[in-house]
Amino acid sequence: MIGLTLKHIRYFEALAAHGHFGRAAAACSISQPALSLQVKELETLIGAPLVERNARQMRLTALGEDFLARAREIIVRVDELENLARSSAGPLSGRLRIGVIPTVAPYLLSGVIRALSDRFPGLDLQPREAVTQSLVDSLLSAHLDVALVALPVSEPALREFALFDEDFLLVRPASEAETPVPGVSSLKQMRLLLLEEGHCFREQALSFCRMTGSKPRELMEGSSLSTLVQMVGAGIGVTLIPEMALPLETRSADVSVSRFPPPGPARTIGMVWRRSDPLGEKLLQIGEIIKSVAQEKREHFQTAV
């Protein structure tokens, strides 16, 4: 097809990913009219519409859906060609798009960025915070290079590298500091505050509470651990937080924090990337650095509870 370029393909894929001309244009760092022109030019080259346009929304045509699947395959392969060159060019440099789940990002990301910037001065780190499924989808569509998530992800196309394990801690109102830590059967009868749907930490907490049967009585959902901890401090209920969140989330809340007796709830945090990515060996180096950063942070607060 004469005239078809990688730019056409990338702009169309961005439009499909964002579902909106303005957001897609912003993501591509171009104006909305310029992106619209590129997509229209692509449709002219193909000879059929790829996008249905109206005043309220944009959706792909049946041809657009088929074209998108192949466009994403092309983008992945082109990115892998670029990474193949980078893999043999000495120290890692250039763009590295790293995704992090919300229950890790506030507590680990700043240290990771500092450590990687010191080790690889030529690295252009581009972090993104999102829930696990969004990060996995972005990895598979080559919008991300690597992600920090709770394992296992169990996606055949992705390689998993474990970084560290951490316990879940029980957060209760400060007035309950001297009371015994409840067992699972008791915890299920309490007002448990949870993250909203889509957060893997929510499902992990529920899994622990369901070990002996029914679902715990939920009072509310929140979009962040900070909100949940503050609600506990107000006496509304109890919640669970990952160990690394302890120093930040409890410093200004009137709460008590306790460990569960073994075997308590825990999770494994790891790094995932596409198995086909030629940068795989260098990403392992990234993983080892992140593992060291996490270990240093954990040594500061593991004895606090």
Cα–Cα distance for residue pair 62/219, rounded to 1 Å = 43
- pLDDT tens for 180-195 read 888 777 777 788 888 8
- pLDDT tens for 7-48 read 898 899 889 888 888 888 988 889 999 999 999 999 999 889
Element (H, E) at 232: helix 225-233
Provide the pLDDT confidence category of residue 213 given band limits of 50, 70 and 90: very low
| Structure tokens given for 12 | 């169309």
Provide the pLDDT confidence category of residue 198 given band limits of 50, 70 and 90: confident
Cα–Cα distance for residue pair 266/201, rounded to 1 Å = 10
Residue 219: is its pLDDT beyond 80?
no
pLDDT score of 82 = 76
Exposed e or buried b for every residue in 46-66, given b needs 16+ CB within 10 A? eeeebbeeeeeebebeeebee
> Left (φ > 0), alpha (ψ -120 to 50) or beta: where does 90 sit?
left
Residue 212: is its pLDDT beyond 50?
no
- Residue listed under structure tokens 């309490």: 190
Q: What is the mean pLDDT of residues 231-260?
A: 90
- pLDDT tens for 43-65 read 999 889 999 887 677 889 999 99
- pLDDT tens for 248-277 read 998 888 899 999 888 888 999 999 999 988
Give me the domains of the chain, ranges plus CATH numbers. Answer: 6-84 (1.10.10.10), 94-305 (3.40.190.290)
pLDDT score of 229 = 92
pLDDT score of 302 = 60
Cα–Cα distance for residue pair 20/11, rounded to 1 Å = 12
- Residue listed under structure tokens 């500092």: 114
Q: Is the pTM of this model over 0.85?
A: no
